[in-house]
Homo-oligomer: A and B are copies of this chain.
Amino acid sequence: MTSIPYRRLNPPERTLFGPDLSNASPRARQGLIACLEGANDPDFLQVFELARTLLRNLWHTENDDTFIFAGTEEAGMEAVLVNLLEPDDTAVVGVAGYSGERLADAAERTGAQVIRVTAEWGTILTPRALEPVLAEHRPRLMVLVHGEASTGVLQPLSEIAELAHRHGALCVVDVSSTTALVEVQVDTWGLDGCWTGSQKGLSAYPGLALVTFSPRAARRVEERQTPVRSWYFDLAGLRSYASDERRHQTVPAPLIYALTEMLELAYEQSMAYREGRHRNRRDALVAALEVLGLEILASPKTRLPSVTVVRVPEGIDGERVRHGLLRPFRIDIGGGLGRWKGRVWRVGIQSHSAQPSYLVQFVSVFEYLLAQQGYPIPRPGAAVQAVIAALEP
């Protein structure tokens, strides 16, 4: 037996301003520590069904096949793809950023043929670009990202879903950077599969995948010629998990309690309020960044409310700024991914992280760290004043 040194940590509070997770709400914490229960516990059953109802309501869907299970949003992605694709299928994947690339990679793992339709990073995918590809290949699946967290772009969806259906394809969408932050209208838009995690727009704790399958998608699973290639993500398994049988996977009850609290909060607040609040926080941040003379990568019309992507100016070491924010201030923002590595900052202001005091501290320290590297601050102190002035109560 080796001797393992352990030094008790005393972690300070964080400001989670990255695209991957937001600060957990104190109300989520209340849920987290409420109880640990087994799969057939009558209290748990009640909470689990409530959570599924609230999730359907949030996504505006009647889908029976709406599930919450142990895993991250990436597990939700895999659950949708692995059930809907077979090796002989074709999938068209829209790629205009890192999340799109990841989707294409994951779709290929199913054995299906993947056709990428690419758009310049920072832009949207247009129906005009997609239509000829859908017409030519008549794929099983059209796969898209609603909020591209690597570029800060919000992708319009309704027209594309209709297009997909017209060409015989199902349309499935990563809504992990939009759920509970901007409207996601599953039934009206005609989305056949969606997924998110518990920790971004919902400000619960990471560790749960939230997914929904339309009746059209469920029919497609029934018509498969080959078994679903995964035990963990199999739709029949997820259904048994949400039934009285409940033999599929161990139930992570504390995470589900925490999530349920936040789904309730979202229901109480309404999406109109939440979307307005996030647009205001984003606009306040953008106002400050523009005072600093920085460039936002997405055009004003397609900017995601949840994640703002900013170009690192010439001569500035972007990673040094990130580390300066992290230590000693424990302000956590995202860096660039893939081809944008080191070239952008990604600031995510989501749900419980959308607090005015957090914005003030971020902008203040950020300006200081830029100045430290010799970046010319046009009007010192004006950026934080711009944030304060722009913030609505």
A110 contacts the other chain (CB 8 A): yes
Contact A111 B229 (CB under 8 A): yes
For A108, give its contact among B39, B70, B227 (CB under 8 Å): B227
A264 contacts the other chain (CB 8 A): yes
A91 contacts the other chain (CB 8 A): no
Known contacts being A34-B11, A54-B4, A78-B232, is A253 close to B206, with CB within 8 Å?
yes
For A109, give its contact among B23, B33, B227, B254 (CB under 8 Å): B227
Complex-state Cα separation, A106 to B197, whole angstroms: 25
Contact B14 A37 (CB under 8 A): yes
Contact A36 B230 (CB under 8 A): no
Complex-state Cα separation, A35 to B9, whole angstroms: 11
Question: In the complex, what residue of chain B is closest to A56 when comparing beta carbons?
Answer: B2
Question: In the complex, what residue of chain B is closest to A322 when comparing beta carbons?
Answer: B40
A24 contacts the other chain (CB 8 A): yes
- Give chain A's interface secondary structure class: loop
**Residues 47-69 of A at the B interface (beta carbon under 8 Å):** 47, 50, 53-54, 57
Question: In the complex, what residue of chain B is closest to A253 when comparing beta carbons?
Answer: B206
Give A residues with C-beta under 8 Å from B: 1-2, 4, 6, 9, 11, 13-14, 16, 18, 20-21, 23-24, 29, 32-43, 46-47, 50, 53-54, 57, 70-75, 77-78, 82, 102, 105-106, 108-111, 197, 199, 205-208, 227-232, 234, 247-255, 264, 267, 270, 326-327, 330, 332, 337
Known contacts A14-B35, A16-B38, A207-B208; 16 further A-B pairs (Cβ under 8 A): A9-B46, A9-B47, A14-B38, A21-B36, A24-B254, A40-B326, A70-B71, A71-B232, A75-B75, A102-B231, A109-B231, A109-B234, A205-B254, A205-B255, A207-B252, A229-B229
